[in-house]
Amino acid sequence: MLDQNAKKELESLIGIEKLSIFNTLYNHIKDTYEVESKFKELKYVNKQWPANYEIKFTKGSKTFCGFYFGENRLGLLIIFGKEERTKVESLKNELSTKAYKIYDKEDIYHDGKWVMFELEDLSLVNDIQKLLTIKRKPNKLV
């Protein structure tokens, strides 16, 4: 769980509305999956997606997903491997057009398809929850 100082820093950086979106997804992940989270300040700036902080969820040495916090920006990064991409593409009709367009436009690299969802409102929450179940089966009772 984030300490009060981290919460205040994130609220001042991304605003209360985006912090509420983050809390919704953060709580879902913590309540549904057995994963560890690590909060850290980023020392470099990615030109495509500038961010000041990251919260990365991992299971062992494998990354599950990560939140990125920039000036008035909140993003969630999910990396899909080859088998996971096949599953996502089979769910195309179950995802919103907006979510699938975000997924579809991203490039495929040697280690997977890196998909950054910029979260401006709650419209992508249900889609992200579906996509997270492809990445990892829930292992906690909700």
114 contacts 106 by C-beta, under 8 angstroms: yes
pLDDT, average across residues 99-126: 95
In a domain, residue 123? The reply is: yes
Q: Domain count of the chain?
A: 1
pLDDT at 82: 93
Asked whether residue 140 is domain-assigned, the answer is: no
Q: What is the pLDDT of residues 5-15, one digit of tens each?
A: 888 999 999 99
Q: Is 46 among the domain residues?
A: yes
* pLDDT at res. 48: 78
Is position 142 within any domain? no
* Assigned domain for 93 exists: yes
**Domain limits for position 26:** 4-135
